[in-house]
Amino acid sequence: MSNKKYKKLTPTQQEYQRFAKEREPKRSVLFNIAKAFLVGGTICTIGQGLQMFFVTYFNFTEKTAGNPTVAVLIFASALLTGLGVYDHIAQWGGAGTAVPVTGFANTVTSAAIEHRSEGYVLGVGGNMFKIAGPVIVFGVFSAFVVAIIKIAVQVLGGVK
């Protein structure tokens, strides 16, 4: 925080701001990155294990096994979110839990549970994609643009 922000405050408030800043826990970026790497890597390794399980015991190939893997991870994430465990992991893991698909499921599930008191249609149904919605909107739109550009290049440029 800059000193400019303090200027409007009374001396007592300024003193408090300094006091509060001293007590604030120092968040180390490097430590956070290490935690994100560890947690994210672990989730992906579990995913890899599931993928191999589907390839070995069901009729999935390396390429198609991604879908059931994602579904299982989402189920696990929804369950852990409902039990209140995922939020504890998320507090420690930061982006390590937000970036994998489990984080996507976590935002959907937690929004659904949180808003159930407002009713199932407007509460659960209306708020479920409150945080996950932007991901879908921008994902779909950018995919649309990319696909159109790629097709245009293929047609006009004759690149196959």
Return the residues of window 94-133 that contact another protein according to CB under 8 A. 94-96, 98-105, 107-109, 111-114, 116-117, 120, 124, 128, 131-132
Identify which of residues 9 and 151 has a Cβ nearer to another protein in the complex.
151
Identify which of residues 17 and 76 has a Cβ nearer to another protein in the complex.
76
What's the angle, vertex CA 65, arms to CA 81 and CA 47, rounded to 5? 40
In the structure encoding, which two tokens stand for residue 118, read together?
């407002």
Report how far residue 21's alpha carbon sits from residue 27's, in angstroms, rounded to the nearest whole number: 12
Residues near another protein (CB under 8 A), total: 78
Least Å from the CB of residue 145 to another protein: 8
User: HSE (CB half, 13 Å, CA atoms) of 133?
Assistant: 9
Please pick, from the candidates 4, 20, 38, 157, the single residue that binds another protein as defined by CB under 8 A: 38
Contact between 71 and another protein by CB under 8 A: the answer reads yes
Contact between 52 and another protein by CB under 8 A: the answer reads yes
Report how far residue 83's alpha carbon sits from residue 77's, in angstroms, rounded to the nearest whole number: 10
Least Å from the CB of residue 123 to another protein: 8
Q: Say which residues have a Cβ less than 8 Å from residue 136's Cβ, sequence separation at least 6.
A: 129
Burial code of 129-159, b = ≥16 C-beta within 10 A, e = fewer? beebeeeeeeeeeeeeeeeeeeeeeeeeeee
Contacting range for another protein; rule: CB under 8 A; set: 7-15, 18-26, 40-48: 40-48
Identify which of residues 14 and 127 has a Cβ nearer to another protein in the complex.
127
Please pick, from the candidates 5, 13, 18, 147, the single residue that binds another protein as defined by CB under 8 A: 147
